[in-house]
Structure 1
Amino acid sequence: MSASLDKQRQKQLLTWLKQQAKQHKKLLMLSVLTGFISAIGIVAQAALFALILQELIIEGGHFSTILPYFIALMGVFVFRTLLTYAREQINFLMGQSLRRSVREQLINKIEQGGPISISQHTSGGLSTLLIEQIEDLQDFYARYLPQMRLATIIPILILIVIVPFNWAAALILFCTAPLIPIFMVLVGMGAADVNRKNFKALAYLSGHFLDRLKGLHTIRLFNQGKNQANAIHQAAESFRIRTMNVLKVAFLSSAVLEFFTSVSIAVVAVYFGFSYLGELNFGAYNGVVTLFAGFFALILAPEFFQPLRDLGTYYHAKAQAIAAADNIEGFLASNTHDTGHHTDKTHLINEIQTIEAQDLIILSPDNKPIVGPLNFTLKTPFKLALMGVSGEGKSSLLNVLLGFLPYQGSLKINQIEFHTLDIDNWRSQLSWLGQNPYLLNGSIRDNILLADRDASEQRLNQVVKQAQLDSFITQLPDGLETQIGEDAVRLSIGQAQRIAIARALLKPCQLLLLDEPTASLDKQTAQDIDAILASNYQSHNIIMVTHQMTESMSFDQIWQLRNHQIHIDQKA
């Protein structure tokens, strides 16, 4: 049963891969057309070469007699060379376009899912999906797909041109041709499964290594370096073994193809050899097997099998692409709620006046209930503190307001159901500050201007001062142009949080969402951050997730989340 399901899955993935190629059908047809014209050139070359040999050996001709044929032969050779180059360029462009298209789909899916969806995957796994596995689609589109069509067209063309000269040679080629695809399929039946296991091993190794690299300091503090090194070694060894299994399949496939091709060509050669010795007297229509017919058929015999051999060579590209598509299509098909990126969605024109929830159940990305049912009404202006122990769903409530989590029930902004809002328009009304806000690997200026690329220098300096960054920045040799490094390694946590505050201040908003912005800070720095937020956001609507009340900020509503339910304990 499992084998049957696996075969059905491979068929489904192959259909998905071909569907991706439909939007680039013109390039595919152009590649096949150039390949077909090149095959006509091969036939012309074989005919010219056979004529030259016929003229020299049988007719006893001189060089002047064969000169036109020789010039034509060189011309066809140059033409085919240029055509082959053009086809390679077309194939590369087709593969490049399709890879770009699939990568865009993945990035859009990641953007649609938001940070909650991303957190369910390791960084190494996502990078492998977006880079290595996308790249493994190249040969399927650039090689296998065009060759699959040519493997049918070119052998038929060669049979058509050989039959008028010798039907026996054409019959031999016709009878032996099916051996190659039959054994190609038999050898390659398990190739997709081998490649899929190889991809999973690579994704695990990438994620495992990157996560351990990020936690190297912690690993060393707990003296676990040797154990983790052994774990990485085992993962790498597993990946090596699976890679060698893939290569075994590829080499076995090539060996089988070469064997049956050689046998078939040898049979054609033996037939003509015995015909010239007078042992065989069939195949020619006039009873005489001419030298031209023999050379013509023998030159074209390898070319008859070449498209099938090329298809066999690229057959592992199909298996590789199916294995990659298993992860890619699975990721694209995973449940992600509609975030409202559509032109027919409602734009929030007026200022935020009310936020209402009725029987609101917040769901995880895989549609499992997290919090709820919740019932509440917020009327502006409001400053809400949302408290509770970890795991009660406080951050989930912020994430559903940010549009990153699906929900059941009703959530309305100004009496407009949330899922009908245009999410980009809604997010433009919000500003967010988390416990560990992400800073880009760039300058301080770049990170602050992420909120508004068109902000003036005066406005930039204003938010720097408001976030109490001015004294810190003046001490830096490069000032705002100082590079903070990857994961803000050149900054303290407090300095990074101040940069995030400056970025949030630069963005005008109606609603500020704060997700424990001081949880990772020492007491003095936390008090400083609270004071900065209190002095700059007095006129804003605020929802702040926190474990404890702050001395600087005053709240008019305090909600406790207990047992995934809201309890209004007190009012300040």
Structure 2
Amino acid sequence: MKRLTNLAIKYKIYPACMFVISILLAITVVVQNISIAEVLNAVLLDTKEDLWTLLLFILVVLLARATFNTLNQMIGNRMSTKVKQHLRRQLILKQSKEPIGVQMNTLTENIDGIVPFFNSYLPQVFKSMMIPVFIIIAMCFIHLNTALIMIVTAPFIPLFYIIFGLKTRDESKDKMTYLNEFSQQFLNKVKGLITLKLFNRTEQTERALYEESTTFRDLTMRILKSAFLSGLMLEFISMLGIGLVALEAGLGLILFDSIDFKTAAIAIILAPEFYNAIKDLGQSFHTGKQSEGSSDVVFELLDSQEEVDKRVPNFNSQQNALIKVKQVSYKYDSAPFNALSEINLDIHKGEQIALIGESGAGKSTLAQLIVQRYIPNSGTVTYNQPNLSIGFLSQSPYIFNASIRDNITMFQSIDEVEVLKVLEAVGMKDKVLSLKHGLDTWIGEGGEMLSGGQMRRIELSRVLVAQPDVLVFDEPATGLDVQTENIIQDVISQQFNSTTILIIAHRAHTIKNANRRVYLENGQLKSLDQLAINENIKGGEVT
């Protein structure tokens, strides 16, 4: 709760506005109910007061109350949006060792679970502080006995909702922790669906998923049970307090004749406002504790992560090589040994370098270091120009849930003729134009389905449009049919013949156009110029 409050203080303008608006709201509540009592008194006792003026005044006050209430909620919504953006940015900009399923669930469900603290609980806290305080102050001048009853009975309401709220917090944390685990288990089973079918394990997997989802349902029902029980107790105490106020006002008016009708009406009308404000805080407190349970999961993940080094690429205008790798070593956090050790490599403008070696030799790691996505543990990677643009064609292309046009242009404004030109180069123009909406066809989740080869060609179109200074192809032919592989090879040779290229590949014909071949073995770099490449090719595979 302390960290959530600190987040709210970070955007202190919003709590300050809530405080001011809640004061104005409390004043309108008191004025509104006193005015209603004035109208009742004028009607029943046939006083000479102008009813139409009173009614018009009440209408104005009601509108003011609704306006202040809406503004208070809008401020809470705005602050919750800011907090969500802040937390998601922090999670995205940090590296985590947690499984991807846990990270994705934290980014979505858990952060969404924090939102009620800011758009429901905090606005209600300010309202529930101001309204009861102003009602008690007003009743001290109007009818002291009613104010005393309110002061004595009011503490029982927060006492009960604190007890139930603490229980809800713990149960909510258990639910969110289990949801993270369940998300990762579900993701793993989906990834291994084909394997499970081959080994006839689908029925057992279905039963296991059903049992896991049932456990999550039971955890959710425990929270709902606490919420219903909490609501019952709050209603009981509120009704008891209102009843005591009504009894005291009725006895004073009828039996003891110690107060007039107007005073009794004010007491009876303001009592529900007083108790409802505190009761609403109780319900919001329950919501706040649920948010606290979600926040524990989010903050635990944030605290366990390391922030990404966002330093700008190293630049050395004095070097001759376009990219210079000097004495670079790199070790993954969880690995006992270096993935790469003391790598030295100069890449000159226009060179096409094939990076080859057995699986696990460190080829992809070296590529990530060259494009400076990874930071070496020792040594340096430097460019000879400050704004070197780099394109990357991966084994698993990422397709955005957007149109084909946006996926190729990366949401930039690029002439349609240019987009169609690159689609023609990769052999996708006819396919795209045959779709109902052409370039504006939605692909990705919920859109037009593309094959793996088509997605790879969409990513290649993206690189063609960008025309980067350096291109990195990570296993460009992996998992592709012969036709798609030939298209990609032709595009590389025709469209990027003067571009600096780094190709990571196993197949010999994939790297046949390279003018320099570099061999990696156990994280050590060797030049194939010294090893007679023809003697190291067996069955089309570079060994």
Partner AA of 1:335 in structure 2? E
- Distance in 2 (alpha carbons) for counterparts of 1:275 and 1:476: 81
Moved more, 376-385 or 287-296: 287-296
The alignment status of 1:41 with 2:10, answered yes or no, reads no
Q: What does 1:45-194 align with in structure 2 at a 5 Å threshold?
A: 45=35, 47-48=37-38, 51-52=41-42, 56=44, 61-62=45-46, 65=47, 68=50, 70-71=51-52, 73-109=54-90, 112=93, 120-122=99-101, 126=104, 128-194=105-171
Q: Which runs of 5+ in 1 are unaligned?
A: 1-9, 280-286
Maintained 8 Å contact 1:191/1:246:
yes
The one of 235, 254, 258 aligned to 2:231: 254
**CA spacing shift, 1:340–1:45, aligned 2, 3 Å:** farther
Report the counterpart of residue 434 of structure 1 in structure 2: 394
- Distance in 1 between the 2:184 and 2:106 partners? 11
Structure 1 residues 547-568: Cα deviation after superposition (integer angstroms, max 9, x where no partner): 3433553334433433334344
Q: Tell me, yes or no, if structure 1 residue 326 matches structure 2 residue 303.
A: no
Partner deviation per Cα, 1:464-504 (whole Å, 9 max, x = no partner): 34334457667778765666554997444333323322221
Whether contact under 8 Å (1:469, 1:498) holds in the other structure is yes
> Normalized against structure 2, the TM-score is what?
0.82
- Return the match for 2:2 from 7, 11, 23: 11
Cα distance, 1:256–1:199 mapped onto 2, change above 3 Å: same
Matched, 1:371 2:339: yes
SS at match of 1:164: helix
Q: Look up the SS of the partner of 1:163 in the other structure.
A: helix
Q: Is the alpha carbon distance of 1:196 and 1:531 closer, same or farther for their aligned partners in structure 2, counting shifts above 3 Å?
A: same
Amino acid at match of 2:165: G
Structure 1 residues 307-335: Cα deviation after superposition (integer angstroms, max 9, x where no partner): 21110011122112222323444455532
Taking the aligned partners of 1:324 and 1:512, their CA distance within structure 2 comes to 42
User: Any idea what SS the aligned residue of 2:12 has?
Assistant: helix
Query: What is the aligned partner in structure 2 of residue 4 from structure 1?
Result: none
Contact 2:322–2:384, Cα closer than 8 Å, also in 1 = no
Once the two structures are superposed, what CA deviation does each residue of 1:341-379 show, in whole Å capped at 9, x if it has no partner?
8xxx88899997232233432545x99986344331314
Deviation at 1:206, TM superposition (A): 5.1
Residue 284 of structure 1 aligns with which residue? Answer: none
Match of 2:366 in 1: 397
Shift, 1:386, TM fit: 2.5
Q: Structure 1 residues 254, 550: closer, same or farther in 2, change over 3 A? A: same
- Comparing 297-306 with 244-253, greater Cα deviation is found at 297-306
1:238-253 correspondence runs (5 A): 238-253=215-230
Kept after mapping to 2: 8 A contact 1:385/1:557: yes
Structure 2's unaligned 5+ residue stretches are 534-543
Q: Quick one: structure 1 residues 490 and 135, their matched pair in 2 at CA, closer, same or farther if it must change by over 3 Å?
A: closer
Alignment map for 1:181-220 (pairs within 5 Å): 181-205=158-182, 208-209=185-186, 219-220=196-197
**Bigger shift: 83-92 or 497-506?**
83-92
C-alpha distance after superposition, 1:109-167 (max 9, x if no partner): 46545xx8699422x862x5455444444433233212212322222222222223433
User: How many angstroms apart in 1 are the aligned matches of 2:470 and 2:98?
Assistant: 25
CA contact (8 A) 2:161 2:234 kept: yes
SS in 1 for 2:374: coil
Matched to 1:198, the amino acid is K
Query: Using a 3 Å threshold, how does the CA distance of structure 1 residues 272 and 455 change in structure 2: closer, same or farther?
Result: closer
The alignment partner of 2:209 has SS state of: helix
Give 1:301's aligned residue.
Answer: 271
Q: Deviations over 1:217-254 (max 9, x none)?
A: 55545443322322221222112111111111212222
Shift of the 78–530 alpha-carbon distance from structure 1 to 2, 3 Å rule, reads same
1:283-362 superposed matches below 5 A: 288-332=258-302, 334-340=305-311, 353-362=322-331
Matched residue type, 1:512:
L
TM-score (structure 1 length as normaliser): 0.79
Query: What is the aligned length?
Result: 528
Residue identity opposite 2:343 in structure 1 = N
CA distance in 2, matches of 1:210, 1:354: 39
Structure 2 residue aligned with 1:410: 379
Task: Give the distance between the partners of 1:541 and 1:554, measured in 2 at CA.
Answer: 13
**Separation in 2, partners of 1:218, 1:565:** 35
Partner of 1:514: 473
Deviations 1:446-467 (A, max 9, x none): 433338642451x334433433
Post-superposition offset of 1:23 = 4.8
Instruction: Give distance in 2, aligned partners of 1:78 and 1:369.
Output: 76
Quote the sequence identity (%). 26
Q: CA deviation at 1:47?
A: 4.5
Q: Determine if contact 2:322/2:348 at 8 Å carries over to the other structure.
A: yes
2:536 equivalent to 1:555: no
Contact 1:41 1:80 in 2 (8 A): yes
Q: 1:76 to 1:326 in 2, by over 3 A?
A: farther
User: Contact 1:102–1:134 at 8 Å: present in 2 too?
Assistant: no
